[in-house]
Amino acid sequence: MDLVSRLKDPSLFRQQAYVDGAWVDADGGGTVDVDDPATGRKIGTVPDMGAAETRRAIEAANRAWPEWRAKTGKERAAILRRWFDLMMANQDDLGAIMTAEQGKPWAEAKGEIAYGASFVEWFAEEAKRVYGDIIPNHAPGKRIVVIKQPVGVVGSITPWNFPNAMITRKCAPALAVGCPVVIKPAKMTPYSALALAELAERAGFPKGVFNVVIGKSASAIGTELATNPIVRKIGFTGSTPIGKELMKQAAGTVKKISLELGGNAPMIIFDDADIDAAVQGTIASKFRNAGQTCVCANRIFVQDGIYDRFSEALSAAVGAMKQGGGFEDGVVLGPLIEGAAVDKVEEHVQDAVAKGAKVAYGGQRLADMGPNFYKPTVLTGTTPDMKIFREETFGPVAPLFRFKDEAEVIRHANDTEYGLASYFYARDLGRVWRVAEALEYGMVGVNEGVISTEVAPFGGMKESGLGREGSKYGADEFVELKYILMGGIGAP
Ligand SMILES: NC(=O)C1=CN([C@@H]2O[C@H](COP(=O)(O)OP(=O)(O)OC[C@H]3O[C@@H](n4cnc5c(N)ncnc54)[C@H](OP(=O)(O)O)[C@@H]3O)[C@@H](O)[C@H]2O)C=CC1
Ligand SMILES: O=C(O)CCCC(=O)O
């Protein structure tokens, strides 16, 4: 069945970009194809835009800024709330669009829509609470006031693995505090972004406040966003090398920048763990989105005493997962995004096996299923000299590293330039506190494999990024603090 036939509201499937309140094509009329990763078949096209169209979107956003920032928090909150309601009312369709372009199973895609919408709901509530401060005066006759003001036009560059939630997690706080946005979604998953634009228009965002530009050349659009002096803030989720490049570019005009980059998450299973819970948590963390998540467990460390029992239980649970096209009933594991992603997974598995690892389950491409499927895999006997230890695999492979004691595993877990998510299973209370504090990661899941929620600050340390998204801290990334010293308040 084609995508449009699946939609209750086919007008959510937009194939034009959205700039200054209008649906537009690229200047030269060029287009980019968008394919279904499960079948390789073309879904449709989107405009192939570049720097000129991006500049116009930035200028439109800047024109819209004074009116948007002048609204009360309550007025902005009402529009964001309508956007949230529309997302939830259209959850099935938004999920279907995502499954078609990204591949994740429809139930999981609908879960992402609810997750993405939760940021809109949260920041709609926060829009009314952008509080300032009053500082006790330092001298007689003076008063000190601190206010928070919107930073200005925000450029958001988002990846293909979470085509909805990475947009809302960046844009909802920006919009809530009074900033207009220009979004550049990944070219492989633009339709989720365009459906969000359609719903933003219906929710009543004034023209120019919400813009989406798309193109084949990410660097043409990205460089314009990162270097145009009108843009005052860049929010990026994606790979570490591109994040570093954007940081360099943004330095030219000293923009604020938030980066949510690669991860190499450790999952540590101690001898005293509840093994069933640890297997469930490992499945949830490792195989979410077919392993294509920056917070996916990438290295699974299992203590000596339970290593064999854990690897058997995990292999059995992995073998029970149904894989296939995202619209098939009961499927929990879809395709990878593209052939290059399958190549990288294959390379990591082959490298590990060549260096002595054993395939406990899986370990091969599934060409019969479609162009981009790789069987979920469990590797035993993996060691730190393997690529799978050093690099983010971004695929459905669970490598199990054996360890002896707490000090050794902490050393290995922290032996990476990344510092995004980490997880461990243990029951000894002293160990729980020691390990949670020793892990050099922005987020730690203790006896828990799923840590993402709109109410908590999401973000990493070291080369995994800068800044935090979501939670009460998330809005701070989009405001400037201004301190006002009022003098001349002497005696009457
Ligand atoms: N932290 C995370 O959540 C993510 C991590 N990754 C990691 O990165 C690897 C590669 O994935 P990939 O999709 O290539 O990640 P990228 O960093 O290339 O893509 C993320 C976003 O950045 C855009 N982009 C790409 N090049 C530039 C540029 N020069 N200037 C500005 N924007 C740019 C992309 O556009 P376009 O897609 O249109 O080219 C996309 O919108 C993955 O295997 C994974 O290891 C990837 C995605 C998310
Ligand atoms: O992989 C990513 O891009 C991060 C999003 C995942 C999440 O929010 O849990």
Instruction: Report, as residue numbers or ranges, the catalytic residues.
Output: 260
CA of 238, closest atom in ligand 2:
3
Query: How does residue 193 score in pLDDT terms, banded at 50, 70 and 90?
Result: very high
Residue 292 Cα to ligand 2 midpoint, Å, equals 9
Mutate to test the pocket of ligand 2, among 104, 242, 294, 298 (most ligand atoms within 8 A of CB): 294
d(CA 172, CA 83): 10
Query: What pLDDT does 492 receive?
Result: 85
Q: Can you list the pairs that 339-344 forms with residues at least 24 positions away whose Cβ atoms lie under 8 Å? A: 339/371, 339/372, 341/292, 341/372, 341/394, 341/395, 342/372, 342/373, 342/374, 342/395, 344/393, 344/394, 344/395
pLDDT tens readout for residues 239-255: 999 999 999 999 999 99
- Whole-prediction pTM: 0.98
pLDDT tens readout for residues 372-392: 999 999 999 999 999 999 999
| Number of the ligand closest to the Cα of 293 | 2
Query: What pLDDT does 399 receive?
Result: 98
CA of 296, closest atom in ligand 2:
1
Q: Would you state the structure tokens that stand for residue 302, as one six-digit string? A: 């299992």
491 pLDDT more than 90 = no
Q: What percent of the chain has pLDDT over 70?
A: 100
Looking at ligand 1, which residue's alpha carbon is closest to its atom 37?
Answer: 186
Residue 259 Cα to ligand 1 midpoint, Å, equals 12
Q: Which residues are CB-neighbours of 52 under 8 A, at least 6 positions away?
A: 27
Q: Would you state the structure tokens that stand for residue 348, as one six-digit string? A: 């990591």
Query: How does residue 312 score in pLDDT terms, banded at 50, 70 and 90?
Result: very high
Q: How far from each other are the two terminal CA atoms of the chain, in whole angstroms?
A: 79
56, 121 in Cβ contact below 8 A? no
445, 458 in Cβ contact below 8 A? no
Q: Would you state the structure tokens that stand for residue 76, as one six-digit string? A: 């902005």
3-state DSSP assignment of residue 70: helix
Q: Would you state the structure tokens that stand for residue 59, as one six-digit string? A: 């200028």
Query: What pLDDT does 47 receive?
Result: 98
282 pLDDT more than 90 = yes
CA of 158, closest atom in ligand 1:
41
140 burial class (0-12, 13-18, 19+ CB within 10 angstroms)? Answer: exposed
Q: Which of 351, 391, 346 is nearest to 240 (CA)?
A: 391
d(CA 126, CA 474): 10
pLDDT tens readout for residues 212-229: 999 999 999 999 999 999
Residue 157 Cα to ligand 2 midpoint, Å, equals 14
Mutate to test the pocket of ligand 1, among 242, 257, 299 (most ligand atoms within 8 A of CB): 242
Looking at ligand 1, which residue's alpha carbon is closest to its atom 36?
Answer: 186
Mutate to test the pocket of ligand 1, among 192, 239, 247 (most ligand atoms within 8 A of CB): 239
What is the residue-averaged pLDDT of the chain? 98
HSE (side-chain half, CA atoms, 13 Å) at 192: 36
Mutate to test the pocket of ligand 2, among 102, 166, 264, 296 (most ligand atoms within 8 A of CB): 166
Residue 244 Cα to ligand 1 midpoint, Å, equals 12
Tell me the average pLDDT across 170-197.
Answer: 98
Query: What pLDDT does 313 receive?
Result: 98
pLDDT tens readout for residues 319-330: 999 999 999 999
478 pLDDT more than 90 = yes
112 pLDDT more than 90 = yes
Query: How does residue 1 score in pLDDT terms, banded at 50, 70 and 90?
Result: confident
Residue 95 Cα to ligand 2 midpoint, Å, equals 17
pLDDT tens readout for residues 132-147: 999 999 999 999 999 9
Residue 295 Cα to ligand 2 midpoint, Å, equals 6
| Predicted complex ipTM | 0.95
pLDDT tens readout for residues 42-84: 999 999 999 999 999 999 999 999 999 999 999 999 999 999 9
Looking at ligand 2, which residue's alpha carbon is closest to its atom 6?
Answer: 293
d(CA 362, CA 487): 72
Residue 159 Cα to ligand 1 midpoint, Å, equals 6
Q: Give the length of the chain.
A: 492
Q: Which of 313, 262, 258 is nearest to 283 (CA)?
A: 313
Q: Which of 317, 81, 59, 356 is nearest to 211 (CA)?
A: 59
The per-residue DSSP string of 15-27 comes to -SEEETTEEE--T
Query: Which helix (H) or strand (E) segment is 123 a member of?
Result: helix 106-126
220, 103 in Cβ contact below 8 A? no
Query: What pLDDT does 265 receive?
Result: 98
Looking at ligand 2, which residue's alpha carbon is closest to its atom 8?
Answer: 452
pLDDT tens readout for residues 329-388: 999 999 999 999 999 999 999 999 999 999 999 999 999 999 999 999 999 999 999 999
One-letter identity of residue 125: E
The per-residue DSSP string of 373-442 comes to -B--EEEEEE-TTSHHHHS---SSEEEEEEE-SHHHHHHHHT-SS--SEEEEE---HHHHHHHHHHS-SS
Q: What percent of the chain has pLDDT over 90?
A: 99
Query: How does residue 490 score in pLDDT terms, banded at 50, 70 and 90?
Result: confident
Which residue ranges have their beta carbon within 6 Å of ligand 2?
Answer: 159, 161-162, 165-166, 237, 293-295, 452, 458
Which residue ranges have their beta carbon within 6 Å of ligand 1?
Answer: 157-161, 184, 186-188, 218-219, 222, 237-239, 242, 245-246, 260-262, 294, 392, 394
Which residue carries 């145009």 as its tokens? Answer: 228
Tell me the average pLDDT across 447-457.
Answer: 98
Looking at ligand 2, which residue's alpha carbon is closest to its atom 9?
Answer: 452
298 pLDDT more than 90 = yes
Residue 28 Cα to ligand 2 midpoint, Å, equals 34
